[in-house]
Chain A
């Protein structure tokens, strides 16, 4: 045969991968440092296709990295910094042990540090790449900025996170790029559209954290270290695009207003400045002073035909809608009561052009008082309020969130004080056909299309009448009928418990007639399909079965939800009736 004997595992996939421990040894780093490096450089493990081959015949569970990735890490200057830091820690420990305090001080002064700028540039070669990956950075910074100043991480990190998040919020306010908001049980979700990228982040509620013990804060801190660097550069760039001064400065006009009142409350100037910025009540200073009102950037009209024209029109329409949404609260004057989450509400309202103020004792930056007569809406989250002004609406905070998601000012009646609120729906759900759509969403969609739905109140009030005069009502109120029909269709399509089932009659004279033929045809079709399915290849059959299984599951789930809703409505109706009966 001739030739050298081929040795196993010296070519092919076994040489493309490296285990974590070997990688660590190759880089001469401790496990903690290796982890940090992987986090900072964005290196993640790979799952080889043939694990046993890569693992040299063993089936032990191991983490594999691409050898190329590890080679790439070898050239990283930060690795040297890690080693330097290790040496520094050793020297410091020694100095402490010998109680050489001057040496300790000297070492402390020369503590090796590192910068992550080049890593950020390397990981995100273009700005858009960086912007796309900012979701996690935002959520993490918002979380860290709510930590207490003691204990879990460095105070500098917390203040830096706070600063960056405040800058971000100010940017979103100035650029008016907020799109959706959602109050969940975890926190408040925001979605903004920045330079064409949808960015979603989650902000926890303002409570002290109960720090869990099974969480490695070092890992989180490393991520935060990377994220703050990334976030700062992104903020800088974003401020630049809007011609704003970075680090942000308040408008000189606004600054002078604020300065007079609150200066004495804060010990440090820098601290009070951040507070003022975070109040979000004043606009930011620009590099180039522009006119107050920015002219709307019109889409240029290009001579186009056919599809292009349609596209253009669609785009134009979209932009118009967008502008309308951005001016959603323009001209309204809000006052926030002290029990509502000030920061989030001020942020949202300012994003859509409203004027906001709050009690002076609550936070810096309130511009007017409760007593101001021009206030149009006061946001209150308590069952009742003593002194009410007649010329303003007292509404619950959910109104703001729902209005933003609906892209229109919703009727305020549903959100008055002490009223049972309508359900708060997630704006992120996009129903495909076959999915369950809650009736509230259908109502909202109808409202958005411009259909009035005023019969709601009557509907609830006189249930009994409705039941008797169902047909009459339907004829009278065409608008309502439309809506009803839609709901009925849904429910009939989905529910096994159809709303109205009349006992069917067997019509013997019809056998062989049109109806029967149709049925027969249908059956034939179904059988044809069944037979064709029998002839499918094994692979395709498997795929087909899988798809059909998924479809069935979604319909089953939708049916379940619809049935649940039905049951709930039935019980609530019965309760109402009982109450009524008792009253009478």
Chain B
């Protein structure tokens, strides 16, 4: 099967085919010998030295001279080549088949060292030396046993100068004569140096040179920039908590530590955890040191800088200097009486002009009359609905109370006080004579009789819509009622009791009317819508003023007895004081209450006004109005009166002053009426 062929002669044109031959590869060696070994098991190639190849050739003396050509070319011939003498070498008569091969393998002990020579078509048994050689080649050793691969080398071209040259070649001529090109180059450089184009290289300064930079401090060098420059704030100096051994109170407790750990880095009050170390030796490196330095750098060049003016004021100086409440007496200071009796919230109260009686209207469908000084309930009247508003006629010669509930305004004669007054009131009502031509009116006037008359009902005014507020004119003859409605002009009606006449003063709807009021002295009429207060002249029948309250929703309104000032309470906790001569904007905005204001009132004689709100308090303020037009009103809060309980988020619903004494009444959602003196 294997072939060993040495120094073969190639037939023409076999050069290419050699490459394609199966299992045959070639190795070229410097000594000009080609050896090919194809082993049965694995094709291995080695090169042999010349002496070995001769040995090999001596062993196989029958030599085929055809060279290393594929033996297929001789398939069709009886011979397979020619020996040295030029005689044909014939093939064996019978080729070995697979069975022979197998038998041979089984029986022949030398089978493993037998190689088939294709060129001679004979089996050759390798000698021991040859087997040894193959083994050594397979191991990658040299073929020659005696070859020493580690012989000392002779260094011919050493750095040591020897007395004899290695080669005997004489030196070139050019090594004796100067180079022209070099000369040209050098002369160019010399010229450049002469001309000063090339300068010697300066020695590099490795260390920076320092000198007295500020030797001549020039005041002109301070530019506008420097004055505008905002120097970066210095780093915060460390406190006790940053110490390596802080006092124990600065260390965080377990909960505080947990909170600290869960917080975001920006939210933390301290950027580090305070720690206690027993000695300096135990203090570790601070892991965020470089971070902090870097953050400082970022702050220095990325943060916008701004000068912030710090207000450095004593908070006491901010408090305005007001006259002492003590000097502004009298004003109500203590709660002296509580009027109990109602079973639901008391919407409205009103004091009689003499100051002896008090009327209150409540959601429990009753109107109660109280004696002010004793707190006794003199009378209780059942009416057919929750009472929205009550008003005592301000005329001391008439004893009449207006009560409104649902769509009705009821005029009552409570029959309290002077009998003469009571009877004269009745007379006044009965003295009415109906006019000749009956005009169509918005409300129907009905005289009460029988049982109702005995109860005190005198006149019943039935309105087309629910009535919210009823208010008397100062003289006591006129009466105005409010029917809030967003969509019609029939919101405010003015009634004349003596003539039983009703008129609608407004032709247009200017918004939802909250409350109305008469001017105490002049023929003016105030109408408060949600955000504005309009002042109408009733004689000229025109709008004189429109006051901007700056509130979201007005709840109540009161006119100063002088008539030039007005206060407005609103549901957004504000109380606006208007000086009508000054401006249509509030002169003062008071935000005393914490919750929505429900009622405001002026005192008739004293410079006092009060406001009641849902926070359950009544605040009494001193509101002095001067006759001198140049002097602005003086407003000083003098007392916070507390007493009402808050029920269903409602506190005080109405406040009113005693007509002569510096006392204030307040009605609340806790079903009581209280008197503060």
Q: Which residues of A contact B (CB under 8 A)?
A: 35, 38-39, 42-47, 63-64, 72, 109, 117, 120-122, 124-127, 129-130, 132-133, 135-136, 139-140, 143, 156, 160, 182-187, 189, 200, 202, 204-205, 207-212, 214-216, 219-220, 223, 228-229, 232-233, 235-237, 240, 246, 339-341, 381-382, 396-398, 420-421, 423-426, 428-429, 438-440, 524, 527-536, 538, 540, 543-544, 547-548, 551, 561-562, 564-565, 568
Contacts and interface: CB of A to CB of B under 8 A. Distances in A.
Contacts of B474: none
Interface stretch (B205-213, B334-342, B391-399, B454-462): B205-213
Interface in B264-283: 272, 274-275, 277-281, 283
A246 B207 CA distance: 14
Nearest to A38: B301
Contacts of A186: 238, 242, 272, 286, 289, 292
Interface stretch (B34-42, B219-227, B407-415, B493-501): B219-227
B300 interface: yes
A52 B246 CA distance: 48
A535 B637 contact: yes
A47 B290 contact: no
B25 interface: no
Given A44-B302, A120-B213, A186-B289, A535 B636 contact: yes
Contacts of A568: 248-249
Interface of B: 201, 206-208, 210-214, 217-218, 221-223, 225-226, 229, 231-232, 234-235, 237-240, 242-250, 253, 272, 274-275, 277-281, 283-287, 289-294, 296-298, 300-306, 311, 313, 315, 318-322, 324-326, 590-592, 619, 635-640
Given A204-B285, A237-B213, A426-B243, A215 B291 contact: yes
Nearest to A199: B234
A565 B289 CA distance: 30
A467 to B, nearest CB: 22
Contact of A424 (B246, B285, B324): B246
B212 A237 contact: yes
A396 B636 CA distance: 66
Contacts of A212: 290-291
A423 B247 contact: yes
B237 A200 contact: yes
A358 to B, nearest CB: 16
Contacts of B207: 160
Contacts of A160: 207-208
B318 A540 contact: yes
Contact of B208 (A136, A182, A185, A228): A228
A218 B305 CA distance: 23
**For A120, A438, A529, which residue has the most chain B Cβ atoms within 10 angstroms?**
A438
B580 to A, nearest CB: 22
Given A125-B221, A543-B318, A421 B301 contact: no
A466 to B, nearest CB: 21
A237 B243 contact: no
B305 A536 contact: no
Contact of A233 (B210, B217, B325): B210
Contact of B218 (A125, A215, A382): A125
Contact of B283 (A43, A205, A421, A564): A205
A223 B238 CA distance: 23
Contact of B222 (A126, A235, A532, A543): A126
A219 B296 CA distance: 11
Contacts of A424: 243-246
Contacts of A240: 212
Contacts of B231: 132-133
23 contacts: A44-B305, A46-B306, A136-B232, A185-B244, A204-B285, A212-B291, A220-B293, A220-B294, A339-B281, A423-B240, A423-B248, A426-B238, A428-B238, A440-B247, A524-B326, A531-B322, A531-B638, A532-B320, A543-B313, A543-B318, A544-B315, A561-B250, A565-B248
A208 B234 CA distance: 27
Contacts of A530: 640
A157 B294 CA distance: 17
A211 B243 contact: no
A35 B301 contact: yes
Contacts of B248: 423, 564-565, 568
A538 B592 CA distance: 11
Contacts of A565: 247-249
Contact of B249 (A183, A340, A398, A438): A438
Contact of B637 (A185, A219, A229, A531): A531
B279 A396 contact: yes
Nearest to B301: A39
A46 B305 CA distance: 6
Given A135-B235, A547-B315, A565-B248, A236 B290 contact: no
Contacts of B272: 185-186
Contacts of A439: 247
Contacts of A205: 283-286
Nearest to B277: A185
B224 to A, nearest CB: 10
Contacts of B201: 109
A36 B590 CA distance: 57
A-B complex: 3 closest residue pairs judged by Cβ atoms = A207-B285, A428-B237, A47-B304
A423 B246 contact: yes
A463 to B, nearest CB: 18
**For A38, A135, A215, which residue has the most chain B Cβ atoms within 10 angstroms?**
A215
Nearest to B243: A424
Given A127-B214, A209-B289, A544-B319, A429 B637 contact: no
A408 B144 CA distance: 96
Nearest to B322: A532
B289 A423 contact: no
A154 to B, nearest CB: 11
A425 to B, nearest CB: 6
B234 to A, nearest CB: 6
Nearest to A111: B204
B286 A204 contact: yes
A122 B218 CA distance: 11
Contacts of B619: 534
A143 to B, nearest CB: 6
Given A130-B214, A426-B243, A564-B249, A535 B286 contact: no
Nearest to B304: A47
A562 B319 CA distance: 31
Contacts of A524: 326
Given A72-B225, A125-B226, A205-B285, A200 B235 contact: yes
Given A44-B301, A544-B318, A183 B283 contact: yes
Given A185-B244, A425-B243, A237 B303 contact: no
Nearest to B285: A207
A421 B304 contact: no
A13 B232 CA distance: 24
Contacts of B298: 219
Given A528-B324, A529-B319, A561-B249, A423 B234 contact: no
Given A182-B238, A237-B214, A535-B322, A397 B303 contact: no
Given A126-B217, A233-B213, A532-B322, A562 B294 contact: no
A183 B244 contact: yes
A438 B240 contact: yes
**For B222, B244, B302, B311, which residue has the most chain A Cβ atoms within 10 angstroms?**
B244
A159 to B, nearest CB: 9
Given A235-B210, A428-B237, A561-B250, A143 B637 contact: no
Contacts of A143: 289-290, 293
